Structure 1
């Protein structure tokens, strides 16, 4: 077990698991800059970021050739963590101009995907985008200070979160992104179920301090309830969770657009989120055992043979669409894990290159987050 007894929020200290596993500070710093360069300015079969006009830029979902709030919010978080203000501001301007609604039932929410030129493909939002955008904006405010609109980052974040919590109140139009009864994040505002990988209690604890003061109690409660929810959504033996789950943690029924009761692409992020929550706040001892369990499940499976699984661990013939992304999240789980597999996944991840080709976007976003987290550079600002 590590010697850190309190989370980074309290100590200001961040573990560097690469350093703990024998890598040099120089090699780690160089690798981080190389990955930034490759993903933002590298070869055509690697990069996922593209500047647009004089003041915009976007992250492309290379598998679908579109722009998603998931990727835009990830790009913004990566940019603020890397102290890259120009790219952050370009991503934010694209999201603000093309994706954020200015009226109607989705006012202040973001259309979840667009064509590369900014034309909206669907008006509806995906709540993981809003929560990541808001957190990235708060961090930008702390790192660089608020500027003129729309670069008054903290005010923009508060507007987004106000809508997420209060939309539809007092007869207003639309639906909130957090279920008012359970205070759990929804899959989309209109659905009565959640997505375990959307649960970011470490963000909500910070929202309690940074969002509207009147909502502080809501965000503190949402953090506590999300942590408790993950106990129910993660299998007690395998550590696997479904992509969509009901508010009681059980897998959600198959949807018109597919069956999401199993451990597949969305669900990979749960392990990473739990690892980061433990690093930042270290307030839930269950997260240690959970991280050990999921690492133990995958310990003897070669990443080339990762598959779709039932949450009790039965494999399908269907291969993982994002094996590098899954490996990245298993490595990030080492922030909480204290079992014999923690170092194994850190080293295996370090020795795995970025993914190239059509499906690289999701894998490499998760890859970058894991590189930041495991090097002690995924920080609270």
Structure 2
């Protein structure tokens, strides 16, 4: 490995494609092609759509709706690719149609809307909010703040305040448990989703949130790293989709196994190690996940117990799974790191009705493995 310290400290980002023998030219072209497939491609690959003169959205092609997950992903990708035009379009749509101003969830974003902006639900999903916050902070640092709602840093700090203080006046619930500092699956529940845990984001919130909120985010980063250790299986490395605060799988609704949400854990572990060298355990975790899938082909990916026992049900998003397994190579030092990256490189973006989730994860992995998923610091 190159960096002895994380990218936050060194300003250096590993380009694993280059380390494994691909040329700068073909890497840059592949990143460009992936962006074009998702944002400008034909109806078999694209998931981004303009809306009106100045708005846009990522469409969940499997459910024909717009989700905070996708909108926040689109914004993070756009800021990494220096596409302020797309970022602003997506944020305007999000702010206009998804932001809630009334009721117990005021200050949050409705997790699902129809393509015309009509809300499908009036509840939020915390993974969207945490991605919105950091994407907005990066946008502020990269491009500077504009007029509301493009006053990115103001929007971000207000959101970071709401998601941890909501409910202190007796109305609504926070997105993080105030005692254990763990993110919830939804605000009005008391369990978590391991794939929501982004300690590398919280480290940055601890620098750029309102000063009074910064200690909370520092504690949340530590708590999340410890939580991942107890929610990921000690042998396979697999995490459940939902887990109790003690790390045990929460299978009350059938989500206590390794399935679609869980795939993001590998990517998050890889990026936390790249940015902050968050915990040496992350090396072991990445190695275990890659070892588990080393003898399996994408056609054979399935739902698994976290102990690795397969179900008959096949993976709905095999391309997303192999993409996140490749992103784990930012932390891995085992025998499967290179093969995981090569499998990803040799796999095209997904086409067809279920392409949305796969291709979001694909784009993040393409950015991360090429050294283009970066921390954007405040301008001097």
For normalisation by structure 1, the TM-score amounts to 0.98
1:12-38 CA deviation, whole Å, 9 max, x = no partner?
000000000000000000111111111
CA contact (8 A) 2:2 2:14 kept: no
> In the alignment, which of 264, 269, 292 is matched to residue 274 of structure 1?
269
1:57-93 CA deviation, whole Å, 9 max, x = no partner?
0000000000000000000000000000000000000
Q: Which residue of 1 is the match for residue 17 of structure 2? A: 18
CA contact (8 A) 2:8 2:276 kept: yes
Displacement of 1:3 in angstroms is 2.9
Distance in 1 between residues matched to 2:164 and 2:262, nearest whole Å:
24
Displacement of 1:106 in angstroms is 1.1
The reply to whether residue 345 of structure 1 matches residue 366 of structure 2 is: no
CA contact (8 A) 2:3 2:10 kept: no
1:361-381 CA deviation, whole Å, 9 max, x = no partner?
000000000000000000000
Distance in 2 between residues matched to 1:193 and 1:55, nearest whole Å:
38
Distance in 2 between residues matched to 1:167 and 1:84, nearest whole Å:
32
Q: Which residue of 2 is the match for residue 129 of structure 1? A: 128
Q: Which residue of 2 is the match for residue 251 of structure 1? A: 249
1:294-349 CA deviation, whole Å, 9 max, x = no partner?
00000010111100000000001110000000000000000000001000011110
> In the alignment, which of 217, 236, 239 is matched to residue 238 of structure 1?
236
The reply to whether residue 178 of structure 1 matches residue 176 of structure 2 is: yes
Distance in 2 between residues matched to 1:283 and 1:131, nearest whole Å:
18
> In the alignment, which of 346, 354, 367 is matched to residue 372 of structure 1?
367
Q: Which residue of 1 is the match for residue 143 of structure 2? A: 144
Distance in 1 between residues matched to 2:210 and 2:161, nearest whole Å:
7
SS of aligned partner of 1:57? strand
Q: Which residue of 2 is the match for residue 189 of structure 1? A: 187
> In the alignment, which of 323, 331, 355 is matched to residue 336 of structure 1?
331
Distance in 1 between residues matched to 2:54 and 2:116, nearest whole Å:
14
SS of aligned partner of 2:303? strand
Computed over aligned residues only, the root mean square deviation of the Cα atoms, in angstroms, reads 0.6
Displacement of 1:159 in angstroms is 1.0
Displacement of 1:283 in angstroms is 3.0
Runs of 4+ in 1 over 2 A off after TM superposition: none
Distance in 2 between residues matched to 1:89 and 1:273, nearest whole Å:
25
SS of aligned partner of 2:246? coil
Distance in 2 between residues matched to 1:46 and 1:254, nearest whole Å:
35
Q: Which residue of 2 is the match for residue 292 of structure 1? A: 287
Q: Which residue of 2 is the match for residue 112 of structure 1? A: 111
SS of aligned partner of 1:192? coil
SS of aligned partner of 2:120? strand
Displacement of 1:172 in angstroms is 3.4
Displacement of 1:154 in angstroms is 0.5
Displacement of 1:173 in angstroms is 1.0
CA contact (8 A) 2:251 2:257 kept: no
CA contact (8 A) 2:287 2:332 kept: yes
> In the alignment, which of 308, 314, 317 is matched to residue 313 of structure 1?
308
Displacement of 1:105 in angstroms is 1.3
SS of aligned partner of 1:50? strand
Displacement of 1:270 in angstroms is 0.3
Distance in 2 between residues matched to 1:254 and 1:29, nearest whole Å:
45
Distance in 2 between residues matched to 1:195 and 1:202, nearest whole Å:
16
